[in-house]
């Protein structure tokens, strides 16, 4: 199988580089400065064993490949907010022997959140979800770092919306030859919703910096507690922290890499790169959506979604809000919701004559 990595950034570049290192055929898809750097200097992957340079084919879109091959696998590694554009470009691409990519080729959604694969299933017949546990950083155009050792990452795979098949197992086998663990599971959503809960901290980090003090950690716990309440109200299962620790164990230890600091997570990296967009609508916004659907207030996730989007839109510096200020805003948001609910209750009692 040939792997076409749509979005050769931190996650896509790492997955593509490790697959290529193991002898698999890989094509990278990128735009702008990243495309130019990959074309001219190759993919530089900085990992614990050193810096590896992979000279791989790189294209800006399907036109750069002409007709796709019947054994191609599309790996969608763009941020969720860029999903529609990628599907618009790749879905209609012709495949040898007839038909289009959307009709004939498997699409792996290696993304945070749960929405990308749902959007993809509107276009593609064969959609696979990936729960991405992969610490990686986009350092500069052409250079990606991944500090995990002995494994680079753990990538749970499954058919979307549920189940397994032979294609998933073949892909997993290739990944497991490439320094990943890739369990194929029939209930992938359980892992993805657990990852969603952890990703709710991304906006805190993006707005107020590293979550390494008691004040920030306490705020993250409150934000995640909102998420848990929403998932339980919606009847959505998720893996427990104990189950996650049992599977991951000490398989991934972050090692210091020269001239490639880990930095922050994906949302922090979006602000640092000044992309103008951020994935908060599909992380904190997913919790807000479910809360509205199931009658659970989510003032903290609402606030973080709003702030993260404003920071991205206005290209503010990542981590520039003092954590104390963010906690103050969070307390005000919770108090406002409590007052509104109390007022609504009093109004209801008056109407019922209580």
pLDDT higher than threshold 80 for residue 286? yes
32: number of Cβ within 10 Å = 9
> pLDDT class for 264, splitting at 50, 70, 90?
confident
Does residue 140 surpass a pLDDT of 60?
yes
Rounded average pLDDT over 21-37: 97
The C-alpha atoms of residue 166 and residue 229 are separated, in whole angstroms, by 36
Q: What is the pLDDT of residues 3-15, one digit of tens each?
A: 999 999 999 999 9
- How crowded is residue 233: how many other Cβ atoms within 10 Å of its Cβ? 14
121, burial (CB in 10 Å: exposed 0-12, middle 13-18, buried 19+): middle
- Mean of the pLDDT values across residues 32-42? 97
Q: What is the mean pLDDT of residues 191-206?
A: 97
Q: Is 325 helix (H, G, I), strand (E, B) or coil?
A: helix
SS3 44: strand
Nearest to 284 by CA among 166, 188, 205: 205
User: Does position 207 have pLDDT exceeding 60, yes or no?
Assistant: yes
Which residues lie closer than 8 Å to 102 by C-beta, 6 or more apart?
87, 90, 91, 92, 123, 124, 125
One DSSP character per residue, 130-189 reads EEEE--EEEEETTEEEE-EEE-SEEEEEEESSS---HHHHHHHHHHHTTTEE--B-TTHH
What's the burial of 247, exposed, middle or buried (CB within 10 Å: 0-12/13-18/19+)?
middle
pLDDT tens-digit series, residues 225-260: 999 999 999 999 999 999 999 999 999 999 988 766
Write the pLDDT tens digit of every residue in 151-181. Answer: 999 999 999 999 999 999 999 999 999 999 9
pLDDT at 345 over 80: no
């Amino acid at each position: 199988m040939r792997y076409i990595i749509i979005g050769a950034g931190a996650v896509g570049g790492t997955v593509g580089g490790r697959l290529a290192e193991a002898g698999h055929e890989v094509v990278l898809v990128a735009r702008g400065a990243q495309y130019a750097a990959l074309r001219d200097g190759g993919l530089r992957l900085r990992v614990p064993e050193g810096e590896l340079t992979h000279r791989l084919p790189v294209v800006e879109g399907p036109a750069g490949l002409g007709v796709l091959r019947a054994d191609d696998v599309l790996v969608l590694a763009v941020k969720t907010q860029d999903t529609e554009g990628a599907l618009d470009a790749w879905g209609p691409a012709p495949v040898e022997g007839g038909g289009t990519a959307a009709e004939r080729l498997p699409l792996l959604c290696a993304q945070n959140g749960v929405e990308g694969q749902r959007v993809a299933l509107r276009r593609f017949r064969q959609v696979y979800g990936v729960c991405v546990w992969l610490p990686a950083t986009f350092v500069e155009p052409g250079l990606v770092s991944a500090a995990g050792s002995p494994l680079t990452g753990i990538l749970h795979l499954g058919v979307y919306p549920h189940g397994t098949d032979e294609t998933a197992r073949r892909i997993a086998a290739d990944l497991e030859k490439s320094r990943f663990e890739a369990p194929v599971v029939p209930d992938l959503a359980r892992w993805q919703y657990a990852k969603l809960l952890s990703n709710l901290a991304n906006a805190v980090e993006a707005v107020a910096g590293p979550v390494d003090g008691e004040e920030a950690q306490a705020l993250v716990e409150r934000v995640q507690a909102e998420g848990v309440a929403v998932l339980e109200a919606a009847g959505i299962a998720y893996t427990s922290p104990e189950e996650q620790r049992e599977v991951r164990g000490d398989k991934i230890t972050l090692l210091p890499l020269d001239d490639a600091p880990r930095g922050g997570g994906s949302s922090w990296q979006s602000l640092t790169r000044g992309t103008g967009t951020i994935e908060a609508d599909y992380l904190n916004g997913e919790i807000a959506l479910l809360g509205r659907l199931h009658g659970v207030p989510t003032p903290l996730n609402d606030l973080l979604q709003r702030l993260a989007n404003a920071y991205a839109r206005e290209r503010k510096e990542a981590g520039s809000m003092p954590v104390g200020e963010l906690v103050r805003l969070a307390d005000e948001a919770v108090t406002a919701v409590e007052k509104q609910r109390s007022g609504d209750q009093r109004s209801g009692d008056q109407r019922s004559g209580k």
